[in-house]
Structure 1
Amino acid sequence: MDYQIRLATIDDLPTIVEIFNQAVPLQVNDESTPIKVADRREWFRQFDHTHPIWVAVVNGQVIAWCALEYFYPHPAYNHSAQIAIYIHEDYRGQHLGHDLLTYVQKQAEGNLDIRTVIAYIYVENNASYRLFTSCGYEKWGKLPQISKINGRMRSLYMMGRHFN
Structure 2
Amino acid sequence: MINFQRAVPSDLPQIVKIYNSAIPTHEITDDEMPITVDSRQEWLNHFNDHFPIWVVKNGNKIMGWCALSQFYPHRAYRFSAEISIYLAPDAQGRGYGQQILSFIDQQVKTTLNIKTIVAYIYENNLPSQKLFKKSGYQQCGSLPKISVIDGKLRTLKIFVKHFI
Task: Give the TM-score band, short-chain normalised.
Answer: over 0.9
SS in 1 for 2:131: helix
Question: Which amino acid letter does the alignment assign opposite residue 21 of structure 2?
Answer: Q
Partner residue in 1 for 2:74: 74
Is 1:147 aligned to residue 152 of structure 2?
Answer: no
Between the aligned residues of both structures, percent identity stands at 40
Is 1:19 aligned to residue 18 of structure 2?
Answer: yes
Question: Which amino acid letter does the alignment assign opposite residue 86 of structure 1?
Answer: Y
Question: Which amino acid letter does the alignment assign opposite residue 144 of structure 2?
Answer: P
Tell me by how many angstroms 1:59 deviates: 2.5
SS in 2 for 1:23: helix
Q: Which runs of 4+ in 1 moved over 3 A?
A: none
Partner residue in 1 for 2:32: 32
Tell me by how many angstroms 1:109 deviates: 0.9
Please tell me the root mean square deviation across aligned C-alpha atoms, in Å: 0.8
Partner residue in 2 for 1:90: 90
TM-score of the pair, normalised by structure 1: 0.97
The whole-number CA distance in structure 1 between the counterparts of 2:153 and 2:76 is 31
Tell me by how many angstroms 1:40 deviates: 0.8
SS in 2 for 1:114: coil
Partner residue in 1 for 2:129: 129
SS in 1 for 2:108: helix
Question: Which amino acid letter does the alignment assign opposite residue 53 of structure 1?
Answer: I
Question: Which amino acid letter does the alignment assign opposite residue 132 of structure 2?
Answer: F
SS in 2 for 1:65: strand
The whole-number CA distance in structure 1 between the counterparts of 2:144 and 2:153 is 9
The whole-number CA distance in structure 2 between the counterparts of 1:74 and 1:40 is 23
The whole-number CA distance in structure 2 between the counterparts of 1:77 and 1:42 is 22
The whole-number CA distance in structure 2 between the counterparts of 1:132 and 1:158 is 11
Aligned residues: 163
Structure 1 unaligned regions, length at least 5: none
Partner residue in 2 for 1:53: 53
The whole-number CA distance in structure 2 between the counterparts of 1:57 and 1:142 is 32
